[in-house]
C-alpha cells in the first residue's frame, strides 16, 4: 500500500475509518467496549502492570474505561495522558481517580486539571509506566499503528527507539479499523500488540 506514503492518501484513510466509528450505535459501542476489555484482561502486559495509562474515548474511539473498576480491584494505579503546556506537543501522564478534577484540553478532550498542585505532583513521564493503552485510527496485521497525525504519542515515546527499559504499548481499536498494510515511518514507535473487540494482533504476527 505504497500510496499511503502520500499525505493525501493517509488523510483520506483516516477520514474513512473515523467515519465508520461515528456510524456505530451506542449499543454497538458498548458491546465493542465490553469485548475489548475481555480481550485486554487476558494480556500479560495488562495483568502484570502496576502503573498503567489509558484514555477517555472521543469521536467514536473504542472505550477502554470499563477496565477502571477491574484495575482498582487489583490496586493498579491508573493514569491519563495530558497535553504538556508550552511543549512540543508531547504528553504527561497524570494519576486518575473518580474524584480527579478534570478540564477539557484544546481538542475538547477531558484530562486531569494540572492547575491543581496535587495533580502536578501525581504526573509521570511515559518511561515510569508499565503499560500504555493507546488509541489509534488504523492498524495492520503487523501491529503497525496509524494515529491521528499529531504525533503526540510518538514524541512522548521517542525514548523507546533507544536501548533501555520501556513500557509495553498496547494499541486498541475496533476490528474494522484493521487495514491491509501501513507504511512504517522513521519516527513511529512500535506497539507490542493491537487489541480489538475481535482479537489480538502481535507485532510481526498474524491475527489470533
> For residue range 83-113, what is the model confidence (pLDDT) as tens digits?
877 566 789 999 999 899 999 998 889 999 9
How is 157-170 classified by DSSP, letter by letter?
TGGGGSSS---EEE
Q: Which of 54-68, 75-89, 138-152 has the highest mean pLDDT?
A: 54-68
Query: Rounded to an integer, what distance in angstroms lies between the CA atom of residue 17 and that of residue 202?
Result: 21
What pLDDT, on a 0 to 100 scale, did the predictor assign at position 84?
Answer: 79
What pLDDT, on a 0 to 100 scale, did the predictor assign at position 3?
Answer: 55
Query: Rounded to an integer, what distance in angstroms lies between the CA atom of residue 120 and that of residue 171?
Result: 26
Domain ranges in the chain are 2-202
Instruction: Tell me the percentage of the chain whose pLDDT exceeds 70.
Output: 91
Q: Is the pLDDT of residue 206 over 70?
A: no
- Stretch 52-58: mean pLDDT: 95
Q: How far apart are the first and last CA of the chain?
A: 23
Query: Cell numbers of 144, please?
Result: 503497525
Q: Which of 113-122, 164-173, 198-207 has the highest mean pLDDT?
A: 164-173
Q: Is the pLDDT of residue 174 over 80?
A: yes
What pLDDT, on a 0 to 100 scale, did the predictor assign at position 5?
Answer: 60
Q: Is the pLDDT of residue 205 over 60?
A: no
| Residue entry with cell 491519563 | 80
How is 10-52 classified by DSSP, letter by letter?
HHHHHHHHHHHHHTS-HHHHHHHHHHHHHHHHT-HHHHT-SEE
Q: Is the pLDDT of residue 124 over 50?
A: yes
Q: Is the pLDDT of residue 130 over 50?
A: yes
CA angle 128, 132, 133 (to 5 degrees): 165
CATH superfamily ID and name for 2-202: NagB/RpiA/CoA transferase-like (3.40.50.10420)
Amino acid at each position: 500500500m505504497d500510496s499511503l506514503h502520500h499525505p493525501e492518501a493517509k488523510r483520506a484513510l483516516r477520514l474513512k475509518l473515523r467515519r465508520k466509528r461515528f456510524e456505530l450505535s451506542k449499543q454497538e459501542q458498548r458491546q465493542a467496549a465490553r469485548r475489548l476489555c475481555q480481550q485486554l484482561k487476558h494480556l500479560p502486559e495488562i495483568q502484570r502492570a502496576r502503573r498503567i495509562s489509558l484514555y477517555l474515548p472521543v469521536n467514536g474511539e473504542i472505550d477502554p474505561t470499563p477496565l477502571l473498576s477491574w484495575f482498582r480491584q487489583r490496586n493498579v494505579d491508573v493514569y491519563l495522558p495530558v497535553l504538556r503546556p508550552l511543549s512540543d506537543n508531547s504528553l504527561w501522564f497524570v494519576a486518575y481517580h473518580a474524584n480527579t478534577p478534570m478540564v477539557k484540553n484544546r481538542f475538547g478532550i477531558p484530562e486531569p486539571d494540572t492547575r491543581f498542585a496535587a495533580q502536578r505532583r501525581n504526573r509521570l513521564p511515559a518511561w515510569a509506566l508499565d503499560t500504555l493503552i493507546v488509541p489509534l485510527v488504523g492498524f495492520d496485521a503487523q501491529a503497525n499503528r496509524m494515529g491521528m497525525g499529531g504525533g503526540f504519542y510518538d514524541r512522548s515515546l521517542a525514548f523507546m527507539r533507544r536501548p533501555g527499559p520501556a513500557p509495553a504499548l498496547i494499541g486498541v481499536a475496533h476490528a474494522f479499523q484493521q487495514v491491509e498494510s501501513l507504511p512504517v515511518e522513521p519516527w513511529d514507535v512500535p506497539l507490542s500488540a493491537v487489541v480489538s473487540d475481535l482479537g489480538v494482533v502481535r507485532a510481526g504476527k498474524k491475527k489470533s
